[in-house]
Every structure is written in C-alpha cells, then in structure tokens.
Amino acid sequence: MGEVYLARDTQLGRLVAIKRLRRDITANRIRHRRLIREAQLAAQVDHPAAIRIYDIVDLSPDHCGHHGGDRNGHGGPAIVMEYVEGDNLHERILRGPLSMASEVLPIAWQIAGVMAAVHDLKIIHRDLKPANVLITPQGNAKVTDFGIATVVDDNAPVVSQPLGRFGTLSAMSPEQLRQEPLDTRTDLFSFGILLYQMIARTSPFASCDTSELCESIAYQTPEDVRTYAPDAPPLLSALIAQLMQKSPSLRPRNGFREVQSVLQTVAEQIDSSQRPLRYHRAPRTMSPDATAVDDMTLSETMPVRDLSMSKRELTDVTNSTRVAPMALSSVIAAIPANGNIAQFGGQSSARDRV
C-alpha cells in the first residue's frame, strides 16, 4: 500500500523513515484514512520493540503549496517514523540458519514482548510476519507495519475482510481465513508461523497453490519443526505446536506473556548460565550532516524500503523545484539516488512539535 523513504531530520540529527501511499492509490481517500489510522495505532505502543512514530504530515498541494508532492501530484498523508538500519527478519532467514541462543530466542522473546503490549491496548496486528520485523545491528527486533491493525471491541467483533483483500495469506490464522470474528489470539497463530520459519527456514504451510494453502492452514497439522531442525528444544517445538492450534481456545491462555515465559525457560535449558533475555542497548551517536537548514531542494529520491522492506529503485519521484514550507515537526532531508544530501524545508509550529 505504501512506499517508505529514508530521510534525515536535520534539526535533531537523526535518520527517519517517511511512509506515504503508492502513487497509483494516492487519490484514494479511504487509503488516506487507513494510513492515518495506522500511525495512530502504532503511536500508542510504547515498547522497545515497536517502531516509534514521530509525526503525520500532509504532502498534498493544499498543505505544501503549489509544488507539494511530486510532478504528478503525488501527495497526501505521510508518516514520519523511526528509521531502523539493518535487514528485516525475512531477509535474515534467507541468509542462513539463525543461532538458537543468540538470535531465535532473543528475537522471538522481544517480538512476544511488544505483542503483549499491543494486546494490552486491545489492538490486533493481523499481519505479523518476518517481513514486518526489522532487526537492528545490535540484534534487537522492531515490529512494524500496523497497516491493517485494528482495535478489538467486545461489542463489535472484528471480522476479517474477504480473502486477498487485506493481510498476507501465508501468515493468516484459520479464523482470519474463514472471515470469522477475530481477537488477539489470531496474532498468536501468526507468531507460531513466524517462529517456525525462524527455526526451520521454511513455512509450515508452504504451497504455491492458493486453495491448497488455505486448506493446509485451516485443517492440516504442520510437520514438527524438529523435522527440519532436529536440535530444536522439545519445549520450543511444543510451544510452536500450541501456537498453531486451529482452535483459538487451545493456544496459550495467557497470550504473549506466557510465550515470553516459555522462551525464557528454553533459553535457561540451553544454557544454565543464561542471563534473562533482554534488549541490547544501541550506542547513542549523532547522525552526520545534522545542521539545520531553512529550506532547500527536494531532488529525485530513492526509497530504501518498500512494505516488505526490500531495497528497490524508484525513479521520477520529484522534480528539482523548491518545496513550499510544510507542517513538519522539524526539517527533513531526503536522500537522493546519487548519494548526496538534499533537504526540503519544514516549518514547525507548537502544535506539530514532538
């Protein structure tokens, strides 16, 4: 649904990511509201393993002046959020086996922790998968993309949309596939798939045929993860099997906090001297070229991540014209394809400061 750009906040001296709608759906007002809703839900989650939301800005001509957006009028809302250097979990899995002690268990524990916080807010993610988990250079997990997240309302159960409209088929729970009322337990099933993929490096429900994949998720019991990873701890294998139970009532009763507890126990079984699983502190450094500017030129830019967080090129995004002052919380610098820094000016107000 969106494109994500790397940018630099020149006043605060940090890199940020800016997510906006794809050019072909910029005019869709429903998509506008959904993007804003994504930011609002993600901003509620205060946890080390959650992407931090800094601001929502409007890139439309009405807010940015005559030259708002790109030469084709590509404007609309955009989310300014934390930039995470490194791969996503899907890319890390493709590179090779993950260490059980130093990668699988710590990363899974961190994801479970942020999902417990998300569920405390009565939010369900509905698209938890390796591509939506970023891994920092320190080995910390960051859960992102709340694009189809929603709030659980006891008086109005959440019902999944028709197949293929929202979400990722291979990460769906059986109840999500069947468009049944959803609660937080749907994310437990998706997490079971994710954990299985981290260990086995394949999906428990792999199929190129959509109907066969749906059949497998809804009715078939996947192979034990130890079929692919014989050294996987039995307790971890049992946890994965419980997470992927077809009936939500058979999944961990105490949700992701129970999952965290089991993961800690597994870590201690592997190494009796194992310290409690935790988040690794990142070094605090100032980004280069952190000098604030009033306004400059937005040149042709290159998004560093799409929604699946893989690198790709984007051409002809903008022209070399001055961008009118925008209601940004601070001045943002876009990084163009040629590697040089080019800024577009922002004008902050008390209401917009973060």
Give the residue numbers marked as catalytic. Answer: 127
DSSP string, 278-312: -PPPPP--PPSS----S--B---B--SEETT----
Q: Which of 320, 324, 322 is nearest to 338 (CA)?
A: 320
Crossing angle of helices 105-120/185-200, nearest 10°?
Answer: 170
| Nearest residue to 115 (alpha-carbon basis) of 314, 259, 267 | 259
d(CA 335, CA 333): 7
Distances 164 to 68, 160, 169, 315 between C-alpha atoms, Å: 33, 10, 7, 29
The CA-atom distances, in angstroms, between 68 and each of 35, 81, 178, 337 are 19, 20, 42, 20
Q: What are phi and psi of 165, to 5 degrees?
A: -80, -45
Cα R_g (the chain), whole angstroms: 21
Residue 13: partners with Cβ closer than 8 Å, 6 or more residues away = 286, 287, 290
Look at residues 184, 164, 182, 162 and name the one whose alpha carbon lies nearest to residue 174: 182
